[in-house]
Amino acid sequence: MLEAKKQAVAKALLFFLPIGPKAKTKMRRHRCHQAVRSESETESETDTETMRCISCKEEYGARDAGTCKECYEEASETEEELKREIEDLKAKVAFLRFWSPLDHAHRGSTSPGPFFPDVVLVASDDGSPGLPPVPVPSHKAVLASRSPVFKAMLENEMEESRSGTIKISDVSYDALRAFVNYLYTAEAWLDEQMACDLLVLAEKYQVKHLKGYCEKFLVSKLNWDNSLMSYAFAHQHNAKLVLDAALCLITDNMDKLTKREEYMELVEKDPRLVVEIYEAYLSKQVNTAAHKDSSVKS
């Protein structure tokens, strides 16, 4: 009996002896293993395990788990491929981009530079009193390739094609110059005025790419103060992107609307547009109500 006790003590004492680190680690690993495999655990428990993020080098737990190494590496490869594709496309743009004949044409000089133009465009209301309008040299092939309107005009041997001069009405020399330049380079320096002028030309001559470019710019410049004017302008020139953005901004601020001077003017000048604002506002309210309803039900 005493012998049995002795043995029990001997066994028991083992637990008081210091255990070597290796042994400890083994126990720990074993238990961690269980901790992970066991299905019964709640997130808060597994969340205490942490890993180090390859990207930000911070430790993270299960709740903040992103991707495994393999997926991370795949994603990085994809990113590299996309960047390569962008480089290729930029090189293609640089190759296809024409130097504009205007690089060599200066205001007050009709020299088109050594670029063999076969047509000139003239701004019918060039804003320089006294001076004759300055022709903007161009190529029929470029105009026809960028604008179906020019294409029809030039193919059908209209007066413009025969005379080699295309008159553009209601546009300044600078806007016309920027317009032609865009047809060659797909680039334009924009402020709000120029964006409006070019949008009008793009709409008139059906240069979709330029129209989209101007619309994006105008949307980025939208604010409460210019929203009503932008709305009316977009309406007049069929600029859907700007129209929707402006309408959204206006219908979000209906309480302030009627106090605006431009509002009174619009009611005077074009009440139909004002009606459309109220209609948009109404349908917005209906939609919001319906949405609230459904979210309450669900």
Q: Which is nearer to a copy of itself, 140 or 237 (CB)?
A: 140
- Joined tokens for residue 91: 């090189």
- What DSSP character marks residue 109? -
Least distance CB 8 / a copy of itself (angstroms): 6
Residue 280 vs residues 30, 246, 284, 287, 289: alpha-carbon distances, Å:
65, 11, 6, 11, 14
Strand order in the sheet with 165-168: 136-138, 119-123, 165-168
Query: Hey, what are 20's tokens?
Result: 């070597």
What is the rounded distance in angstroms from the CA atom of residue 280 to the CA atom of residue 210? 28
The DSSP secondary structure of 246-262, one letter per residue, reads: HHHHHHTTHHHHTT-HH
The smaller minimum CB distance to a copy of itself, of residues 62 and 222, is found at: 62
CB of 29 to a copy of itself, least distance (A): 5
CB of 169 to a copy of itself, least distance (A): 24
Smallest gap from residue 41 Cβ to a copy of itself (A): 7
Q: Which is nearer to a copy of itself, 66 or 271 (CB)?
A: 66
Nearer to a copy of itself, 63 or 292 (CB): 63
Q: Smallest distance from the beta carbon of 180 to a copy of itself, in angstroms?
A: 13
Query: Any idea what DSSP says for residue 166?
Result: E
Strands 59-61 and 50-52, bridge-based pairing:
antiparallel
Query: 90 or 106: whose CB is closer to a copy of itself?
Result: 90
